[in-house]
Structure 1
Amino acid sequence: MLQAIGLTSTPRRDRPPAVDDLTFEARPGSVTALLGPPGAGKTTALRLMLELEPGRGITYFRGRPLHRIAHPPREVGVLLGDIPGHPSRTLRGQLRMLCAATGVPVSRAEELVRTVGLTGLERRRIGTLPVGADRRLGLASALLGAPHTLLLDQPGARLSASEGAWLHELLRAHASGGGTVLYTTDDPKEAARNADRVVTLAAGRLVADQEAAEFARTRLRPRVAVRTPQAARLAAVVTQEARAARRPVEVVAEGGNLLSVYGSDCAAVGDTAFRHGVPVHRLAAETGDARPAPHGPGHTDTTSPPRPAEADDPPQASERPGDGPVAHAAGPREGRALTRRRRRTPRRPARSPLRPLRYEVHRLLGVPSTPLVLAAVLLVSVTLALLLGRGGHAALPAVLAAWPEISPLPPAAVGAGLLGAFSFGEEYRYPALTSGRGAVPRRPGLLLAKLAVAATVALALGAFVALADLAVLRLFYGGELIPVPRNWPTLSASWLGLLVGCAWAGLLGAGVFRAAAAGVAAVLAVPVAFVPLLQTVLTGPSVRSAAGLPARLREFVGPRWSPELEHWLAGSLRVLGQPAGVALSLTLTGLLCAYVFTGLRRQARW
């Protein structure tokens, strides 16, 4: 059971809160509709339930608040706002990445692709999906963890009539299996037709909490829709007969040749038209929105609102021209099969420390920006290495790193920082971790996975660039002109440390400021701003020096001290003692503290 108690959003400026003291329940085994016009606070209410919106109140999911649930994707499935995911990622890649994040087998993605009717579109990129297919993808993302509760914001948006019927059949199957379904809508007729219970909001406050039958009886008005070429004449005779019989009948001209008759039925209206020889092209019983009669019963209104969509109007196309057809929607049989599979899925799988690592690898390899950045770095590095080696004046380390004096960073460091910035920046722009639950959660396991993958990519990129530059230089200028320096281990450590530091600076900068541009700015700020400042400080007069630290440690440790350890320690001190190393260390420390301070959630664990 879902229990929302006292939900109140934090007001902004002088405006009233979007949701004010909202309390209701959504029971298991039933479908609950959260109804209200645009701006009534429906989406804000869902965000408050998911702890994405600042405010008061609490929501219990089967007796536990969300931050107390060890594995949220297996308890709550969410479709909130636009479909999350990078537009360049394929549909299959998106679902497989979410499978790694949720901790379910990859076969679950293939199963849901068939269930939601996306067969044949697995290789399509998210940005090119047909109309309605993106909503199916969002529903598949919400169902990945086989959750007990579904929270869906306008799930029927941009769906045709047939697709909407399929959607509600699937939601009904989920509820029939014991699950809880809560979705928002602004269509009263759709809520009365498809929900078991209707919770009505207006201006952020609870207006009514009713069973669907009671809602339809008290909040909607049954009517008879009549289409006739003699609308004015039929309205007059129906009104005249109603007055003669003293029946409260209201006739409203909806525009053109359509009439809405309230307080009567199809048989009475049809008999009246037959007696007076009025041709009727359409006669149907409908349920319309409740509104007071403008001037009492029997009044004919010619200035009513525009005609609503009719039940027998042709459905809208479910695809863009040229996009290809959407796969056939799953019917009741597929919905029941989904319920049986959901029951067989284990509720609490063993948590693996490799789960966020697998997610991060899927995220990195699923977008075309990663190979494009790597190819650009390699091309620019090789070109600069050839130009620097041709002059013969640059030092060999600068040539192999493709680092001219006029550049603050070599191309490989810029590329590593850019990939690190994309690691968090793209997730804030295209949230994917929580299937539309908003901002990327700051989980320690996720941060460690991103740092590990960013460091690995940076190390591989640095080694590959150096080897590629060396091979090209040997090919063009010969091997005798490229001697190997004696201090190559120290130079290699400095080179790789610079790349890892830039990758981490971009990652943490994007994580703190929630934008990839901020991550790139954090990378460039090290050589442009911090290194010159530290050079001024470190080159000034000094009274103390740490140059004799290895010797003092040898005297302290005694015979167990090894010359190899002293050698590596001295090299490490030389690397860290450089202005760039000190600047990177201070920058990473500050960014990490800022990341932790701005919202590291200990209760949300990977």
Structure 2
Amino acid sequence: MIEVRGLTKRYGDTLAVDNLSFTVRPGQVTGFLGPNGAGKSTTMRMILGLDKPTSGVALINGKPYAELDHPLRHVGALLDAKWVHPNRSARSHLRWMAASNSIPQSRVDEVLRLVGLTEVAGKRAGSFSLGMSQRLGLAGALLGDPKILLFDEPVNGLDPEGIHWIRRFMQTLAAEGRTVLVSSHLLSEMEQTAEHLVVIGQGKLLQDTSTRDFIERSSEATVRVRSPQLAELRSLLTSKGMTVREDGARDGVPGGPALLVVGSPSDEIGLLAGANGITLLELAPQRASLEESFMQMTGGSVQYHGEVMGGAL
């Protein structure tokens, strides 16, 4: 288990992490989300003892990282896939890591096989693509068979097959009872991977909740309705005080013109239409994506804004 209590980090006048507290529990993948500059990487570095907090503590199974004996046996991390001597082979790099923490050398070939690098184990790490480097970083994180794992942007450089593989891989690790904390900017991927979310903005905690609850709380509830009597249906719904708007054309949404009814349950809409002889071709509650909910939640916490032609980016 990872415990963060009142964690604060200042760099001069910049407050990177502001009195942050949360717990990452075993048995599930926890997504660590926030806009660029929110303090995610700084927090992970403090958990791993790479940066010293200004105040507060970060504990791994009740201890600071610096107090762990043979820390790679307790916690594994992938923060920078290119943190490896470029002239060492993948196998030599892992053997050096294993020796530093009294891990049996036989474990090296086991983790190379787990991440799919057996055939290139003798090649120089400096010649690896970013995707291959990510896999080598994963192998290093798994080397001590730790119960706690931290991954910062682990799918960078991976193709769709590799992204699917690492998603299932992290879920399998969590299902084995491990604690898994993963930071990623690919929100669609986090929606499929993480059961729980810790969301921060400007160094402060915004949400600590299940992925499902985060989406439901951060987005409006709507129902998409189609009917051959669309104008009549709109008039009926608005006469009952319901909020109705046109459902604009969207890629991948079939069926022609439709209405979006905001804040009313689908059962109520269906019963009302049926009682007034209106045929419905579609009556579908709409679930917002994690990306939409994230933008709604963190819009006020974005540190850097760009502009595009005609308005803000």
Aligned to 1:190: 189
| Richer in helix (by share) | 1
CA offset at residue 289 of structure 1? Answer: 0.7
Aligned to 2:124: 125
For residue 18 of structure 1, give the secondary structure of its aligned residue in structure 2: strand
The answer to whether the 8 Å contact 2:49/2:64 transfers is no
Percent identity over paired residues: 33
The answer to whether the 8 Å contact 1:90/1:124 transfers is yes
Distance 2:221 2:190 in 1: 15
Distance 2:97 2:27 in 1: 27
Distance 1:238 1:249, change over 3 A: farther
Distance 1:259 1:30, change over 3 A: closer
2:109 pairs with 1:113: no
Distance 2:65 2:120 in 1: 34
CA offset at residue 168 of structure 1? Answer: 2.0
The answer to whether the 8 Å contact 1:26/1:182 transfers is yes
Give the unaligned 5+ runs of structure 1: 226-233, 273-283, 293-302, 307-606
Aligned to 1:552: none
Distance 1:199 1:89, change over 3 A: same
**Aligned residue runs from structure 1 range 24-39, under 5 A:** 24-39=22-37
Distance 1:67 1:2 in 2: 14
Larger CA Rg, structure 1 vs 2:
1
Distance 1:89 1:286, change over 3 A: same
CA offset at residue 71 of structure 1? Answer: 1.6
The answer to whether the 8 Å contact 1:83/1:137 transfers is no
**Aligned residue runs from structure 1 range 119-198, under 5 A:** 119-198=118-197
For residue 16 of structure 2, give the secondary structure of its aligned residue in structure 1: coil
The answer to whether the 8 Å contact 1:33/1:183 transfers is yes
Which of 1 and 2 has higher RCO (CA within 8 Å, sep 6+)?
A: 2
Distance 1:262 1:42 in 2: 39
- 1:289 corresponds, among 287, 292, 298, to 292
Cα deviation code 1:480-517 (max 9, x no counterpart):
xxxxxxxxxxxxxxxxxxxxxxxxxxxxxxxxxxxxxx
CA offset at residue 238 of structure 1? Answer: 11
Aligned partner letter, 2:200 = L
Distance 1:117 1:10, change over 3 A: same
Alignment coverage as a number of residue pairs: 268
Distance 1:51 1:131, change over 3 A: closer
For residue 83 of structure 1, give the secondary structure of its aligned residue in structure 2: coil
CA offset at residue 97 of structure 1? Answer: 1.6
For residue 126 of structure 2, give the secondary structure of its aligned residue in structure 1: helix
Distance 1:121 1:62, change over 3 A: same
Aligned partner letter, 2:112 = V
The answer to whether the 8 Å contact 1:80/1:152 transfers is yes
The answer to whether the 8 Å contact 2:17/2:39 transfers is yes
The answer to whether the 8 Å contact 1:239/1:251 transfers is no
Distance 1:128 1:3 in 2: 38
**Aligned residue runs from structure 1 range 273-284, under 5 A:** none
Distance 1:144 1:222, change over 3 A: farther
Cα deviation code 1:143-201 (max 9, x no counterpart):
10111110111112222232222112111222222211111123443333211210111
The answer to whether the 8 Å contact 2:219/2:288 transfers is no
TM-score, normalised to structure 2, is 0.74
Cα deviation code 1:364-396 (max 9, x no counterpart):
xxxxxxxxxxxxxxxxxxxxxxxxxxxxxxxxx
For residue 193 of structure 1, give the secondary structure of its aligned residue in structure 2: helix
Distance 2:222 2:119 in 1: 43
Distance 1:11 1:131 in 2: 30
Aligned to 1:558: none
RMSD of equivalent CA atoms = 3.4
Aligned partner letter, 1:148 = K
2:247 pairs with 1:251: yes
**Aligned residue runs from structure 1 range 504-515, under 5 A:** none
The answer to whether the 8 Å contact 2:81/2:130 transfers is no
Distance 1:238 1:128 in 2: 63
TM-score, normalised to structure 1, is 0.40
Aligned to 1:49: 47
Aligned to 2:20: 22
Distance 1:87 1:304 in 2: 44
CA offset at residue 286 of structure 1? Answer: 6.8
Cα deviation code 1:217-241 (max 9, x no counterpart):
223568899xxxxxxxx9xx99967
Distance 2:195 2:188 in 1: 13
Give the unaligned 5+ runs of structure 2: 271-279, 297-309
For residue 120 of structure 1, give the secondary structure of its aligned residue in structure 2: helix
Distance 2:90 2:156 in 1: 19
Structure 1 stretches of 4+ with a deviation exceeding 6 A read 221-225, 257-262, 303-306
Distance 2:19 2:232 in 1: 49
Aligned partner letter, 1:289 = E
Distance 1:126 1:224 in 2: 52
